[in-house]
Structure 1
Amino acid sequence: MAEKFAQAVEFCKKNVRYIAAAGLFIVLVIVLAKCSGNSADNAKPKKDAATEVVTEVTETAENYTQDAYPQINELISNYYTAYANGDTDTLATLADPLSDAEKSYIAVFSQYVEGYENISCYTKKGLDDTSYIASVYLEAKFKDVDTTAPGLETFYIRTREDGSLYIDNVYGQFNSQMEEYETDAEVSALLDAFSQQDDVAALQTDVQTKYDNALAADENLKNMVEKTIPDAITVWASDQAAAAKKAEEEQKAAEEEQKKAEEEAAKKAAEEQKKAEELAAAVVVYATDKVNVRAEASETADVIGQLEAGSQTTRLEDKDGWSRIDYSNGTQGYVKSEFLSTEAPTAPAADTTTDAAQTTTDTSAIAEGTVIRLTQSTNIRESMSEDAPKVATAFSGEKVTVIMSYAEGWTKVTYGDKTGYIKTELLK
């Protein structure tokens, strides 16, 4: 049995980062002095506190009192009843803390237990008058096994403010082995000294003898405690490790997802900050003609919209002949810089000049000297061709003076100090 214990404990230690609280004891079967959960190896008090407590307890060691405290006997009886039934809700009110790992362990172990009999409490005082150390003798009755298994388990018992007693489960066998909880140095030292006292050692030896005799007398009991239960607990530990490992991986994935989300949020915030800074330093410009807005700085890039001649927009950057603009609702696009001007179109002046509709006739020719106010912005070119170089761009509301209209559909005009050609249809 000791070998099975060692194998199980070693498995848990190797997988301790996956098992919330571990220690694979065949709890409540038999507790030997050499593998007690409160032995010197498991209790690690501070040196000075341990030395003082051990010395004091050794010099003033009191004898056991058997079943001298009815309240302790009731607490322990209720504890074992709940343990045999796998009732972890009740156990949590009697022993604190009760970890999820220990609850899971109890659920497995209790499947093999029919009950606990002949319970007797051997008690000594704890660190103060409100605490106790109880060595509890019991006999475990396993299912489908005739012979009971004698056992011995040590508890550290405290008193609540309302006067009720409870088991300080930090020092229980399950938790002590893997040291999941922080312990009090003086309590650990006291339990260590307690385990070395002569009457405690004598009680352990007596129970060990009874236990060995029981196993020798009943092969079914021997098989239960040395094979059936250890095998079941090993499977339990493996499942605990797998579940904890999965939880760890899921937690890691969640953390990575959270990190990714935070990085994306930071990136978005940085982009928005950059846009804000660009807008703060942006330049207001006006379209000199109806012009396409493209997704990239290329004449082959997708067209995402258009600017009407004279419309206002915001230029964020002017590079390599292209202007990056704030096109619409934060959407950026690119326009050829030659079609943008920082000068606003001139507003129409109030005068008596005749509009195109008033100065032209239905014929294709427009009389020389006619002054026309443009109704839309248009390019003035060097010759009668849409591919000819631009002389200037005249905006809607500005005036040109007709020099001559041609049958080719073009009219020669003066625009300020410039002379060029405009499509005749644009002047009507």
Structure 2
Amino acid sequence: MDNFREWLSDNLRYFMLGGAILLIVVVLFFGIRAFMGSGKGDSSKDTADEQVTADNDQGNVPSSPANDGETDGKKDANPMEKANEEITSLIKSYYTALGDKDITTLRTLVDNLAPADESKITNAKYIEGYEAGDIYTKKGLDDDSYVVYSCFYYICQGIDTKVPALAEFYVVKDTDGNWKIDGAAHDDSDEITKYEVSLRQDDDVKELKAKVQKQYEDAQTADPALAAFLDGLGEDVTGSAETADGTTLVVTEDCNVRAAASSDAEVIGGLSAGTEVVKKGENGDWIQIDYEGSEAYVHSSLLEEKTE
């Protein structure tokens, strides 16, 4: 799965466009955590046991406790709730536009949509579409904001089974009274980041993560083709790691350029799809190139040999 992890780490901005944090996507459950433009990761290994709840007054909200009149005396001051109609419409429209690569519509839904994200959408591979599922909210830092937890599915190229996933957004009301996804929330405010991280310790959030994780595992068990696809996603099918030094390679999609041959190495720049580079060497699954006069590395899965 190392190839897939690198592929995903270099494409997380696409998955998490609009300030969304992908809490669960395939094997990266409680793994990579990336903010818009930050390139930061979180390797915390929280665990959560799936709980079955049955409070008919609160529907299927994951946090709903069995209402037996007995508690441990602690009440969640900010419980997870089903999203209201406006937030639900916003998130569903977002996934529809994302799947359609509709930049014009996305600009109306996402505040501070970066040009780099627009490029990732239009050049994206592997993912054919998205489908929104259940959407939940917790109160934001003020009355005009929410933290949104969106269960959704992404549709892999050539695979029938949809892949369950879970994303987190920070949604705010603009000056016109419209709800929008804050695309720069984590760049502009450490307070928002810390607040969202603290909410992930709530039992209802942990339970929702566990629920989606199980759905993901069940999807792979039921569809071996999906499991094989995810296992092979990001592998070097073009054989760039086997080419000779001096070979001209082409970047297959927008990607990071790193200072060393590791997915944890510093990101020193980026390359757009279609850019040609010359192979200087290799280190494991990494291709050494020259980047602005310095030694740099790109994962081999993101390069292919140039053909005439």
- TM-score, scaled relative to structure 1: 0.43
Look up the equivalent residue of 2:6 and give its one-letter code.
Q
1:212-223 correspondence to structure 2 within 5 Å: 212-223=217-228
Give the counterpart of 1:116 among 131, 150, 164.
Answer: 131
Distance, in Å, in 1 between the alignment partners of 2:235 and 2:164 is: 17
1:96-135 correspondence to structure 2 within 5 Å: 96-109=111-124, 112-117=127-132, 119-135=133-149
Query: 1:148 Cα shift?
Result: 1.2
Indicate yes or no: 2:80 matched with 1:64. yes
Distance, in Å, in 2 between the alignment partners of 1:36 and 1:126 is: 20
100 and 71 in structure 1: CA distance in 2 versus 1, 3 angstrom threshold: same
Distance, in Å, in 2 between the alignment partners of 1:125 and 1:186 is: 14
Query: 1:143 Cα shift?
Result: 4.2
Kept in 2: contact 1:131–1:158 (CA 8 A): yes
Distance, in Å, in 1 between the alignment partners of 2:161 and 2:8 is: 26
1:262-411 correspondence to structure 2 within 5 Å: none
- TM-score, scaled relative to structure 2: 0.58
Kept in 2: contact 1:61–1:197 (CA 8 A): no
Aligned to 1:145: 159
Aligned to 2:30: 33
Distance, in Å, in 2 between the alignment partners of 1:157 and 1:5 is: 30
Aligned to 1:164: 178
229 and 103 in structure 1: CA distance in 2 versus 1, 3 angstrom threshold: farther
Kept in 1: contact 2:14–2:121 (CA 8 A): no
Distance, in Å, in 2 between the alignment partners of 1:230 and 1:167 is: 33
Kept in 2: contact 1:109–1:229 (CA 8 A): no
Distance, in Å, in 1 between the alignment partners of 2:163 and 2:101 is: 19
Aligned to 1:253: none
243 and 66 in structure 1: CA distance in 2 versus 1, 3 angstrom threshold: closer
Larger fraction in helix: 1
Kept in 1: contact 2:95–2:131 (CA 8 A): yes
Query: 1:231 Cα shift?
Result: 6.5
Distance, in Å, in 1 between the alignment partners of 2:91 and 2:14 is: 19
Kept in 2: contact 1:83–1:110 (CA 8 A): no
Aligned to 1:236: 253
**RCO comparison, higher one (Cα < 8 Å, 6+):** 2
Query: 1:227 Cα shift?
Result: 3.0
Distance, in Å, in 2 between the alignment partners of 1:122 and 1:218 is: 28
Aligned to 1:79: 94
The alignment partner of 2:31 has SS state of helix
Distance, in Å, in 2 between the alignment partners of 1:72 and 1:242 is: 35
Look up the equivalent residue of 1:65 and give its one-letter code.
E
Distance, in Å, in 2 between the alignment partners of 1:152 and 1:190 is: 18
CA RMSD, Structure 1 to Structure 2 (Å): 3.5
204 and 110 in structure 1: CA distance in 2 versus 1, 3 angstrom threshold: same
For 1:75-98, what per-residue CA distance to the aligned partner results, in whole angstroms no more than 9, with x for missing partners?
Answer: 001000000111122112111222
Aligned to 2:212: 207
Look up the equivalent residue of 1:208 and give its one-letter code.
Q
Kept in 1: contact 2:166–2:209 (CA 8 A): yes
Distance, in Å, in 2 between the alignment partners of 1:109 and 1:229 is: 13
For 1:355-401, what per-residue CA distance to the aligned partner results, in whole angstroms no more than 9, with x for missing partners?
Answer: xxxxxxxxxxxxxxxxxxxxxxxxxxxxxxxxxxxxxxxxxxxxxxx
183 and 235 in structure 1: CA distance in 2 versus 1, 3 angstrom threshold: same
170 and 110 in structure 1: CA distance in 2 versus 1, 3 angstrom threshold: farther
Query: 1:156 Cα shift?
Result: 0.3
Distance, in Å, in 2 between the alignment partners of 1:230 and 1:72 is: 37
Look up the equivalent residue of 1:217 and give its one-letter code.
A
Distance, in Å, in 1 between the alignment partners of 2:125 and 2:113 is: 16
For 1:307-365, what per-residue CA distance to the aligned partner results, in whole angstroms no more than 9, with x for missing partners?
Answer: xxxxxxxxxxxxxxxxxxxxxxxxxxxxxxxxxxxxxxxxxxxxxxxxxxxxxxxxxxx
Distance, in Å, in 2 between the alignment partners of 1:91 and 1:61 is: 33
The alignment partner of 1:120 has SS state of strand
Kept in 1: contact 2:254–2:272 (CA 8 A): no
Kept in 1: contact 2:163–2:216 (CA 8 A): yes
Distance, in Å, in 2 between the alignment partners of 1:9 and 1:145 is: 18
Aligned to 1:192: 197
Bigger radius of gyration among the two = 1
Distance, in Å, in 2 between the alignment partners of 1:102 and 1:204 is: 26
Aligned to 2:7: 8
Give the counterpart of 1:90 among 102, 105, 125.
Answer: 105
Kept in 2: contact 1:134–1:156 (CA 8 A): yes
Distance, in Å, in 1 between the alignment partners of 2:101 and 2:88 is: 20
The alignment partner of 1:145 has SS state of coil
Seq. identity, %? 28
